[in-house]
Structure 1
């Protein structure tokens, strides 16, 4: 088992807390832009991996807030499909995504520093156990969301709508001003 020094574990915590803040900030900005999309366009098959903006947002709810959250919180993998529609109502989906993104912040702050240098053991959806570096796997969760926000941003521009600026550096600049 690889161990990380106390200062290294704290640096990992700080980095992951920044990624969690970014995830919340970018999700909020994206959802603000999506709010202006008419219902028909919001649900239209736009050729995204999860077809529509709605399907992609539901995938984020499934993956980040149901699957990965359970793995990090209690080591379980709930049975599910990655294309499952957990929330059909657009406003409730929006709120659940924001609540879920916000929930990572106190988790990261509350985990013991040593956990960041440890491993995450879980059961894959297809079966079989996996043991991965805890911090890198948590970073994956936020990176995965970035990937799908990029798909939705491209869909917005395809629809002739403005896509928000979601680069991490803009969050960092805003935080530096505060």
Structure 2
């Protein structure tokens, strides 16, 4: 890995890998366990995953400069783990494609982010991507901890980067780049 762009491309793939494994586990829960109130920042696995899906869509809209802004939040939450898994996988593919298309001057380019009454705020693409990946890691950790309180074992999510410890899904996603 020699450039920041290559790092961000790998992070987009790591993000998709971790989401795939986490959703596979969440899809094993019955609906009651998926929606059950738990101790975390958001009150359930369902609410936490809907939040990460919404925020991914929000930042991807900003990154792609499609102009939807905060209106991406004006849709009903998805109800099942399977629906969220499919929707998140679609956004993850879009994010990987966006990162694959980055050029040398893109990371320092500023993009608008709709902050409602505060108006647009401007941030670089590079910082926005770093924030987006950190946001996902943060909330996946919360879902991981919530899964520990169910009959579904939380998946191992850190087998992406090291060759000797690489999960097969990680290998598939890494080679897709």
Q: TM-score, normalised by structure 1?
A: 0.82
Cross-structure match for 1:6: none
Task: Find 2:11's aligned residue among 9, 19, 27.
Answer: 19
2:133 is the counterpart of 1:142: yes
State how 1:66-105 maps to structure 2 within 5 Å. 67-74=58-65, 76=67, 77-79=69-71, 81=73, 85-105=76-96
The alpha-carbon distance between structure 1 residues 70 and 116, as it changes in their structure 2 partners (threshold 3 A), is same
Bigger Cα displacement from structure 2, 42-51 vs 85-94: 85-94
Partner-residue secondary structure (3-state), 1:112: coil
Deviations, residues 132-170 of structure 1 (Å, cap 9, x unaligned): 232021111111011111000000112243111112xx2
Which of 163, 166, 176 is matched with 2:154 structurally?
Answer: 163
SS of 1:114's equivalent?
coil
Query: What residue is the counterpart of 1:42 in the other structure?
Result: 34
Is this contact kept in 1: 2:25–2:154, CA < 8 A?
yes
Counterpart residue number, 1:64:
56
Residues 5-28 of structure 1: CA distance to partner in whole angstroms, max 9, x if unpaired?
A: xxxxx8121111011000000000
Query: Equivalents in 1 of 2:22, 2:105: separation in Å?
Result: 34
**Residue 119 of structure 1, aligned match among 90, 110, 115:** 110
RMSD of aligned residue pairs (Cα, Å): 2.2
Q: Write the distance in 2 (CA, Å) between the matches of 1:126 and 1:88.
A: 30
Q: Which residue of structure 2 lines up, in the alignment, with residue 152 of structure 1? A: 143
Q: Which residue of 2 aligns with 1:5?
A: none
Shift in Å, 1:122 = 2.1
Does the CA contact (< 8 Å) of 2:59 and 2:128 recur in 1? no
Gap regions ≥5 residues in structure 2: none
Q: What is the CA deviation profile of residues 61-96 of structure 1, one whole-angstrom value per residue up to 9, with x for unaligned ones?
A: 11102x1111111153133559x6432243222100
Q: Give the count of matched residue pairs.
A: 164
Residue among 120, 127, 130 paired with 1:129: 120
Q: TM-score, normalised by structure 2?
A: 0.82
